[in-house]
Amino acid sequence: QKEVEQNSGPLSVPEGAIASLNCTYSDRGSQSFFWYRQYSGKSPELIMSIYSNGDKEDGRFTAQLNKASQYVSLLIRDSQPSDSATYLCAVTGGYSTLTFGKGTMLLVSP
Amino acid sequence: KAGVTQTPRYLIKTRGQQVTLSCSPISGHRSVSWYQQTPGQGLQFLFEYFSETQRNKGNFPGRFSGRQFSNSRSEMNVSTLELGDSALYLCASSPYNDYEQYFGPGTRLTVT
Distance CA B71, CA B93 (A): 13
What residues 55-94 of chain A have any CB closer than 8 A to a CB of chain B? Answer: 88, 90, 92-94
Q: State phi, psi for A10 to the nearest 5 degrees.
A: -75, 150
Check CB contact of A95 with chain B, cutoff 8 Å: yes
Extract the residue ranges of chain B whose pLDDT is less than 50: none
Check CB contact of B85 with chain A, cutoff 8 Å: no
Triad B16, B93, A55: Cα angle to 5°: 125
Report percent pLDDT > 90 for chain A: 87
Check CB contact of A18 with chain B, cutoff 8 Å: no
Compute the Cα dihedral for B49, B55, B59, B61 and give only its sign. positive
Distance CA A68, CA A62 (A): 19
How much is the mean pLDDT over chain B? 95
**How much is the pLDDT for A2?**
81
How much is the mean pLDDT over chain A? 95
B73-98 in b/e form (b: 16+ CB < 10 A) is: ebbbebeebeeebebbbbbbbbeebb
Distance CA A31, CA A52 (A): 8
Check CB contact of A52 with chain B, cutoff 8 Å: no
Mean pLDDT, residues A6-17: 95
Per-residue model confidence as pLDDT tens digits over A28-56: 989 899 999 999 999 999 999 999 999 99
Per-residue model confidence as pLDDT tens digits over B66-97: 999 999 999 999 999 999 999 999 999 998 77
- Which of B63, B1, B66 has the alpha carbon at shortest distance from B28? B1
Compute the count of residue pairs across chains A and B with CB atoms less than 8 Å apart: 67
Per-residue model confidence as pLDDT tens digits over A66-76: 999 999 999 99
What distance in Å separates residue A53's CA from the closest CA in chain B? 16
**How much is the pLDDT for A8?**
87
Assign A95 to helix, strand or coil: coil
- Closest CB to B98: pick one of A42, A92, A99: A92
Contact B61, B79 (CB under 8 A): no
Q: Over 90: is that where the pLDDT of A80 sits?
A: yes
Give strand pairing partners of A72.
A23, A65
